[in-house]
Amino acid sequence: MKIKILIFVISFSISIQNSWGQCFRCCRAGNELIKNGDFSLGNTGFSSSYTFAFSSLPGRYGIVTDSRTANPNNWASCKDHTTGTGRFVWFDLADTANAIMWSQKINNIIPNANYTFSCWINSLFAGASPELNFLING
């Protein structure tokens, strides 16, 4: 997916309808622009209207190496999709409509350049089909 950016600041936001885990990536010609997109630094480099927690409840998120640690009775065991040992973030759907799950402002965007944004998503609740909304500059 190629996006033409005509501004100098960009913000990514995500909204979903069920519980799931993810990793984010955004680059231009190989240079990673997302800070802590693999969550190896924990709960830093992004903002969320969800509450950081170690166990799941609606409106919470956490950073783990295995999703079952947040909800051992209801979620499938999910691990980092690249190495199986890294971290990822999980979200449990908020009761509030349009809650911002993950957002990051990126500076130094070059006008009229192509950028690639990607993320890996996996539903943690059997039978759930998340509905995703990606917003760039609102």
Q: How far apart are CA 105 and CA 127, in angstroms?
A: 33
Cβ atoms of 26 and 116 within 8 Å: the answer is: yes
**pLDDT for 26 beyond 70:** no
pTM: 0.74
CA atoms 116, 105, 121, 99: torsion sign: negative
Helices and strands (H and E) in the chain: how many: 0, 10
Torsion of CA 22, 80, 86, 41, to 10 degrees: 0
| Average pLDDT over the chain, rounded to an integer | 76
**pLDDT for 54 beyond 70:** yes
What would the mean pLDDT of 57-76 be, rounded to a whole number?
90
